[in-house]
Amino acid sequence: MKILLSSLIFVVFVTISSNYAYAIDYTYPTINQRLTETPTYCAVESISDKISLSQMNEMMDKSQIAVNTWKEKLQDSELINKDFWDIKFKKIGKNESVSDDCTITILFRDDPEFSGSLLSKTLGAFMRSSIYIYYENQESIYGEKWMDGILKTTIHEMGHTFGLGHYTTDDNDYNRKIVTRNESPPSIMFAPAHINPDLRMITEIDVQKVRSIYGSYGFHAFSEQRPSEIIIENPISPLDPTYPFEFTEISKNTVKLFRHQDTMMTISGQINNAVYMSGHPVYILITNPDLSVDVLKVKPTRNGFFETYLNFNYKSIPGKHSIEFAYIDKIDQSKNLIFDVEQTDIPLPSKSENLNIVQVNNNAEQFF
Protein backbone atom coordinates (compact mmCIF):
# COMPACT_ATOMS: atom_id res chain seq x y z
CA MET A 1 0.00 0.00 0.00
CA LYS A 2 1.46 3.34 -1.02
CA ILE A 3 1.46 6.24 1.37
CA LEU A 4 0.34 9.62 0.05
CA LEU A 5 2.05 12.61 1.61
CA SER A 6 1.35 16.29 1.18
CA SER A 7 4.34 18.51 0.69
CA LEU A 8 4.46 21.64 2.79
CA ILE A 9 6.22 24.74 1.59
CA PHE A 10 7.84 26.82 4.29
CA VAL A 11 8.45 30.45 3.47
CA VAL A 12 10.95 32.42 5.52
CA PHE A 13 11.12 36.18 5.41
CA VAL A 14 14.42 37.57 6.60
CA THR A 15 14.68 41.19 7.61
CA ILE A 16 18.03 42.69 8.48
CA SER A 17 17.39 45.52 10.89
CA SER A 18 19.83 48.39 11.04
CA ASN A 19 20.10 52.12 11.41
CA TYR A 20 21.37 52.50 7.86
CA ALA A 21 19.47 54.83 5.56
CA TYR A 22 19.74 52.39 2.66
CA ALA A 23 18.78 48.77 2.12
CA ILE A 24 21.34 46.08 2.85
CA ASP A 25 21.30 43.12 0.49
CA TYR A 26 22.33 39.68 1.65
CA THR A 27 23.48 36.64 -0.29
CA TYR A 28 23.21 33.02 0.83
CA PRO A 29 24.39 30.90 -2.10
CA THR A 30 24.55 27.15 -2.48
CA ILE A 31 27.64 25.24 -3.55
CA ASN A 32 27.66 22.17 -5.81
CA GLN A 33 28.14 19.66 -3.00
CA ARG A 34 25.25 17.21 -2.61
CA LEU A 35 24.71 14.25 -0.31
CA THR A 36 23.47 11.23 -2.26
CA GLU A 37 22.38 9.04 0.65
CA THR A 38 21.35 9.17 4.28
CA PRO A 39 24.68 10.47 5.58
CA THR A 40 26.90 8.93 8.22
CA TYR A 41 29.40 11.32 9.80
CA CYS A 42 32.42 9.53 11.25
CA ALA A 43 34.59 11.35 13.81
CA VAL A 44 38.12 9.95 13.66
CA GLU A 45 40.27 10.04 16.78
CA SER A 46 43.53 11.91 16.24
CA ILE A 47 46.90 10.18 16.70
CA SER A 48 48.57 13.48 17.62
CA ASP A 49 50.40 13.68 20.94
CA LYS A 50 49.58 17.42 21.15
CA ILE A 51 46.15 16.69 22.56
CA SER A 52 45.26 14.81 25.73
CA LEU A 53 42.96 11.79 25.79
CA SER A 54 40.29 13.67 27.73
CA GLN A 55 40.43 16.58 25.29
CA MET A 56 40.20 14.18 22.35
CA ASN A 57 37.18 12.49 23.88
CA GLU A 58 35.54 15.87 24.38
CA MET A 59 36.15 16.83 20.75
CA MET A 60 34.61 13.53 19.64
CA ASP A 61 31.60 14.26 21.85
CA LYS A 62 31.30 17.78 20.40
CA SER A 63 31.19 16.34 16.89
CA GLN A 64 28.39 13.99 17.90
CA ILE A 65 26.46 16.92 19.39
CA ALA A 66 26.96 18.81 16.10
CA VAL A 67 25.50 15.92 14.10
CA ASN A 68 22.57 15.50 16.48
CA THR A 69 21.87 19.24 16.44
CA TRP A 70 21.50 19.32 12.65
CA LYS A 71 19.44 16.13 12.74
CA GLU A 72 17.03 17.52 15.31
CA LYS A 73 16.65 20.84 13.49
CA LEU A 74 15.93 19.20 10.13
CA GLN A 75 13.62 16.52 11.51
CA ASP A 76 11.71 19.10 13.54
CA SER A 77 11.04 20.96 10.28
CA GLU A 78 9.44 17.84 8.74
CA LEU A 79 5.88 17.23 9.90
CA ILE A 80 5.32 13.82 8.31
CA ASN A 81 8.33 11.75 7.28
CA LYS A 82 11.19 12.64 9.58
CA ASP A 83 13.27 9.68 8.33
CA PHE A 84 13.97 11.66 5.16
CA TRP A 85 16.25 13.84 7.30
CA ASP A 86 18.01 11.14 9.27
CA ILE A 87 21.73 11.66 9.98
CA LYS A 88 23.92 8.99 11.54
CA PHE A 89 27.07 9.34 13.63
CA LYS A 90 29.95 6.99 14.28
CA LYS A 91 33.19 7.18 16.27
CA ILE A 92 36.38 5.76 14.74
CA GLY A 93 39.25 4.97 17.11
CA LYS A 94 42.79 5.99 16.21
CA ASN A 95 43.71 2.35 15.61
CA GLU A 96 40.62 1.64 13.52
CA SER A 97 40.13 1.98 9.78
CA VAL A 98 37.47 4.27 8.37
CA SER A 99 34.59 2.02 7.32
CA ASP A 100 32.82 2.11 3.97
CA ASP A 101 29.60 3.38 5.51
CA CYS A 102 31.23 6.71 6.41
CA THR A 103 29.84 9.40 4.09
CA ILE A 104 31.80 12.26 5.65
CA THR A 105 34.79 11.96 7.99
CA ILE A 106 35.49 14.53 10.73
CA LEU A 107 39.24 14.86 11.24
CA PHE A 108 41.04 16.79 13.97
CA ARG A 109 44.36 18.48 13.16
CA ASP A 110 46.63 20.77 15.13
CA ASP A 111 47.00 23.30 12.29
CA PRO A 112 46.32 23.64 8.54
CA GLU A 113 49.93 24.11 7.45
CA PHE A 114 49.93 20.79 5.60
CA SER A 115 47.90 22.42 2.83
CA GLY A 116 49.20 25.30 0.77
CA SER A 117 45.65 26.32 -0.15
CA LEU A 118 44.43 27.01 3.40
CA LEU A 119 44.62 30.20 5.43
CA SER A 120 46.93 29.79 8.42
CA LYS A 121 44.25 30.77 10.98
CA THR A 122 41.52 28.61 9.49
CA LEU A 123 39.22 27.16 12.15
CA GLY A 124 37.87 24.41 9.92
CA ALA A 125 37.48 23.34 6.31
CA PHE A 126 35.48 20.94 4.16
CA MET A 127 37.53 19.23 1.47
CA ARG A 128 37.03 16.03 -0.49
CA SER A 129 34.43 14.34 1.75
CA SER A 130 36.22 15.32 4.97
CA ILE A 131 35.67 18.00 7.58
CA TYR A 132 38.91 19.26 9.11
CA ILE A 133 38.85 20.89 12.55
CA TYR A 134 42.01 22.77 13.60
CA TYR A 135 42.06 22.74 17.39
CA GLU A 136 45.18 24.86 17.92
CA ASN A 137 43.57 27.71 15.97
CA GLN A 138 40.36 27.21 17.96
CA GLU A 139 42.26 27.65 21.22
CA SER A 140 44.21 30.61 19.85
CA ILE A 141 41.10 32.48 18.71
CA TYR A 142 38.44 31.43 21.22
CA GLY A 143 40.60 30.96 24.34
CA GLU A 144 38.81 29.08 27.12
CA LYS A 145 35.77 28.64 24.85
CA TRP A 146 37.74 26.70 22.26
CA MET A 147 35.73 23.49 22.75
CA ASP A 148 32.54 25.45 22.05
CA GLY A 149 34.35 26.81 19.01
CA ILE A 150 34.98 23.25 17.82
CA LEU A 151 31.29 22.44 18.21
CA LYS A 152 30.09 25.46 16.25
CA THR A 153 32.80 25.10 13.59
CA THR A 154 31.76 21.48 13.05
CA ILE A 155 28.12 22.56 12.68
CA HIS A 156 29.24 25.23 10.18
CA GLU A 157 31.33 22.79 8.13
CA MET A 158 28.46 20.30 8.11
CA GLY A 159 26.45 23.06 6.43
CA HIS A 160 28.97 22.98 3.59
CA THR A 161 28.58 19.19 3.29
CA PHE A 162 24.84 19.75 2.74
CA GLY A 163 25.59 22.28 -0.03
CA LEU A 164 25.38 25.57 1.88
CA GLY A 165 27.69 28.44 1.01
CA HIS A 166 28.40 31.45 3.21
CA TYR A 167 25.72 33.90 4.28
CA THR A 168 26.87 37.51 4.17
CA THR A 169 25.70 41.02 3.33
CA ASP A 170 27.01 43.59 0.88
CA ASP A 171 27.94 46.01 3.67
CA ASN A 172 31.35 45.25 5.20
CA ASP A 173 30.89 47.62 8.15
CA TYR A 174 27.60 45.97 9.01
CA ASN A 175 29.16 42.50 8.71
CA ARG A 176 31.81 43.48 11.23
CA LYS A 177 29.15 44.76 13.62
CA ILE A 178 27.19 41.52 13.36
CA VAL A 179 30.12 39.39 14.54
CA THR A 180 30.90 41.60 17.53
CA ARG A 181 27.47 42.43 18.93
CA ASN A 182 25.91 40.41 21.75
CA GLU A 183 23.35 38.54 19.65
CA SER A 184 23.34 35.65 17.23
CA PRO A 185 24.14 36.19 13.55
CA PRO A 186 21.31 35.49 11.08
CA SER A 187 22.91 32.18 10.03
CA ILE A 188 25.35 29.53 11.27
CA MET A 189 26.98 30.01 7.85
CA PHE A 190 27.56 33.73 8.37
CA ALA A 191 31.00 34.91 7.30
CA PRO A 192 33.00 36.02 9.16
CA ALA A 193 32.48 33.89 12.29
CA HIS A 194 31.21 35.54 15.45
CA ILE A 195 33.85 36.27 18.10
CA ASN A 196 31.69 34.42 20.68
CA PRO A 197 31.06 30.80 19.62
CA ASP A 198 28.14 30.53 22.06
CA LEU A 199 26.16 32.90 19.84
CA ARG A 200 26.69 30.91 16.64
CA MET A 201 23.67 28.67 16.04
CA ILE A 202 21.52 27.09 13.35
CA THR A 203 18.66 29.42 12.44
CA GLU A 204 15.40 28.90 10.59
CA ILE A 205 16.87 30.32 7.40
CA ASP A 206 19.59 27.65 7.52
CA VAL A 207 17.07 24.85 7.90
CA GLN A 208 14.93 26.12 5.05
CA LYS A 209 17.96 26.60 2.83
CA VAL A 210 18.90 22.93 3.29
CA ARG A 211 15.30 21.93 2.57
CA SER A 212 15.35 24.03 -0.61
CA ILE A 213 18.42 22.10 -1.82
CA TYR A 214 17.00 18.61 -1.26
CA GLY A 215 13.30 19.22 -1.74
CA SER A 216 10.51 17.00 -0.48
CA TYR A 217 12.53 13.76 -0.34
CA GLY A 218 15.27 15.08 1.94
CA PHE A 219 18.55 13.19 1.77
CA HIS A 220 16.93 10.68 -0.61
CA ALA A 221 16.62 13.40 -3.28
CA PHE A 222 19.84 12.57 -5.12
CA SER A 223 19.87 8.87 -4.26
CA GLU A 224 19.06 6.00 -6.58
CA GLN A 225 17.34 4.32 -3.63
CA ARG A 226 14.51 6.79 -3.15
CA PRO A 227 11.66 5.10 -1.22
CA SER A 228 9.32 3.75 -3.90
CA GLU A 229 6.51 3.03 -1.46
CA ILE A 230 6.05 6.70 -0.66
CA ILE A 231 4.43 9.16 -3.04
CA ILE A 232 4.41 12.88 -2.29
CA GLU A 233 1.71 15.00 -3.86
CA ASN A 234 3.18 18.02 -5.66
CA PRO A 235 6.72 17.42 -4.39
CA ILE A 236 9.28 20.19 -4.20
CA SER A 237 12.05 19.36 -6.64
CA PRO A 238 15.64 19.26 -5.43
CA LEU A 239 18.13 21.90 -6.53
CA ASP A 240 20.59 20.49 -9.04
CA PRO A 241 24.20 21.77 -8.99
CA THR A 242 24.73 24.87 -11.13
CA TYR A 243 27.90 26.18 -12.75
CA PRO A 244 27.42 29.94 -13.07
CA PHE A 245 30.89 30.94 -14.32
CA GLU A 246 32.79 30.17 -17.49
CA PHE A 247 35.96 31.33 -15.78
CA THR A 248 37.32 33.49 -12.98
CA GLU A 249 40.81 34.94 -12.86
CA ILE A 250 43.11 37.33 -11.05
CA SER A 251 45.99 39.38 -12.43
CA LYS A 252 48.44 38.23 -9.74
CA ASN A 253 48.77 35.17 -7.58
CA THR A 254 51.31 37.00 -5.39
CA VAL A 255 50.85 40.63 -4.40
CA LYS A 256 54.03 42.33 -3.21
CA LEU A 257 53.69 45.27 -0.85
CA PHE A 258 55.97 48.28 -1.24
CA ARG A 259 56.45 50.98 1.33
CA HIS A 260 55.86 53.95 -0.94
CA GLN A 261 53.56 52.59 -3.64
CA ASP A 262 50.16 50.93 -3.74
CA THR A 263 49.70 47.69 -5.66
CA MET A 264 46.57 46.91 -7.65
CA MET A 265 45.14 43.49 -8.48
CA THR A 266 42.36 42.81 -10.99
CA ILE A 267 39.60 40.28 -10.34
CA SER A 268 37.48 39.31 -13.33
CA GLY A 269 35.36 36.56 -14.81
CA GLN A 270 32.67 35.52 -17.23
CA ILE A 271 29.16 34.36 -16.35
CA ASN A 272 27.88 31.29 -18.15
CA ASN A 273 25.49 32.36 -20.93
CA ALA A 274 22.90 29.77 -19.85
CA VAL A 275 22.81 31.30 -16.36
CA TYR A 276 23.17 35.03 -17.05
CA MET A 277 20.21 37.23 -16.14
CA SER A 278 20.24 40.98 -16.50
CA GLY A 279 20.23 43.00 -13.29
CA HIS A 280 21.86 40.43 -11.00
CA PRO A 281 25.24 41.29 -9.44
CA VAL A 282 28.21 39.04 -8.79
CA TYR A 283 29.15 38.75 -5.13
CA ILE A 284 32.85 38.33 -4.42
CA LEU A 285 33.75 37.23 -0.88
CA ILE A 286 37.39 37.67 0.10
CA THR A 287 38.59 35.98 3.30
CA ASN A 288 41.73 37.57 4.70
CA PRO A 289 44.53 35.89 6.70
CA ASP A 290 43.03 37.13 9.99
CA LEU A 291 39.67 35.55 8.95
CA SER A 292 38.04 38.94 8.41
CA VAL A 293 35.91 39.14 5.30
CA ASP A 294 35.45 41.75 2.57
CA VAL A 295 32.48 41.55 0.22
CA LEU A 296 32.37 43.16 -3.22
CA LYS A 297 29.19 43.47 -5.30
CA VAL A 298 29.99 43.82 -8.99
CA LYS A 299 27.60 44.57 -11.84
CA PRO A 300 28.38 42.47 -14.93
CA THR A 301 28.19 43.76 -18.49
CA ARG A 302 25.42 42.75 -20.89
CA ASN A 303 27.53 39.85 -22.15
CA GLY A 304 28.16 38.59 -18.60
CA PHE A 305 31.72 39.83 -18.12
CA PHE A 306 32.65 41.34 -14.75
CA GLU A 307 35.76 43.04 -13.44
CA THR A 308 36.82 44.84 -10.29
CA TYR A 309 40.01 45.87 -8.54
CA LEU A 310 41.67 45.44 -5.18
CA ASN A 311 44.18 48.00 -3.95
CA PHE A 312 46.95 47.07 -1.50
CA ASN A 313 49.31 49.27 0.46
CA TYR A 314 52.12 48.58 2.88
CA LYS A 315 49.65 48.23 5.76
CA SER A 316 47.64 45.49 4.03
CA ILE A 317 47.53 42.14 5.83
CA PRO A 318 50.24 39.79 4.55
CA GLY A 319 49.48 36.11 4.07
CA LYS A 320 47.12 33.91 2.10
CA HIS A 321 43.72 35.20 0.94
CA SER A 322 40.83 33.23 -0.56
CA ILE A 323 38.15 34.40 -3.01
CA GLU A 324 34.66 32.98 -3.55
CA PHE A 325 32.34 34.03 -6.38
CA ALA A 326 28.53 33.84 -6.18
CA TYR A 327 25.91 34.62 -8.81
CA ILE A 328 22.14 34.33 -8.28
CA ASP A 329 22.83 32.43 -5.06
CA LYS A 330 25.01 29.83 -6.77
CA ILE A 331 28.71 29.03 -6.30
CA ASP A 332 30.94 26.75 -8.34
CA GLN A 333 33.66 25.99 -5.79
CA SER A 334 36.08 24.96 -8.54
CA LYS A 335 36.23 28.65 -9.49
CA ASN A 336 37.48 29.74 -6.06
CA LEU A 337 40.85 31.48 -6.09
CA ILE A 338 43.80 31.83 -3.72
CA PHE A 339 46.45 34.55 -3.67
CA ASP A 340 49.31 35.59 -1.37
CA VAL A 341 50.23 39.03 -0.08
CA GLU A 342 53.90 39.56 0.80
CA GLN A 343 55.67 42.45 2.46
CA THR A 344 58.98 43.37 0.86
CA ASP A 345 61.65 46.04 0.82
CA ILE A 346 62.96 45.13 -2.61
CA PRO A 347 63.00 47.81 -5.36
CA LEU A 348 59.75 48.61 -7.13
CA PRO A 349 58.97 46.33 -10.10
CA SER A 350 59.04 47.62 -13.63
CA LYS A 351 55.73 48.40 -15.34
CA SER A 352 56.17 45.42 -17.68
CA GLU A 353 56.18 42.89 -14.83
CA ASN A 354 53.19 40.90 -13.52
CA LEU A 355 51.12 41.26 -16.68
CA ASN A 356 50.28 37.57 -17.01
CA ILE A 357 46.82 36.46 -16.01
CA VAL A 358 46.63 33.72 -13.41
CA GLN A 359 43.88 31.22 -14.23
CA VAL A 360 41.66 29.38 -11.77
CA ASN A 361 43.45 27.62 -8.93
CA ASN A 362 41.80 24.21 -8.89
CA ASN A 363 43.38 23.42 -5.51
CA ALA A 364 41.15 26.02 -3.91
CA GLU A 365 37.99 23.88 -3.79
CA GLN A 366 37.53 24.17 -0.04
CA PHE A 367 35.12 26.07 2.14
CA PHE A 368 36.02 27.53 5.51
C-alpha neighbours within 13 Å on the C-beta side of residue 150: 30
All domains in the chain, ordered by first residue: 22-216 (3.40.390.10), 245-361 (2.60.40.1930)
**Cβ-based neighbour number of residue 182 at 10 Å:** 7
**Phi and psi torsions of 284, nearest 5°:** -120, 115
Average pLDDT, the chain: 86
Of the candidates 357, 280, 289, which has an alpha carbon nearest to the alpha carbon of residue 122? 289
CA distance 136 to 14: 35
pLDDT, tens digit (0-9, with 9 covering 90-100), for 28-85: 999 999 999 999 999 999 988 889 999 999 999 999 999 999 999 999 999 989 999 9
Task: State yes or no: pLDDT of 105 exceeds 50.
Answer: yes
- Residue 349's pLDDT is 55
Name the 3-class secondary structure at 247. Answer: strand
Residue 99 scores a pLDDT above 70: yes
Confidence at 350, pLDDT banded by 50, 70, 90: low
Q: Mind listing the pLDDT tens digit for each residue in 191-211?
A: 988 899 999 999 999 999 999
pLDDT above 80 for 6: no
Q: What is the DSSP string of 312-354?
A: E-TTSPPEEEEEEEEETTB--GGG-EEEEEEE--SPPPPTTSS
pTM: 0.86
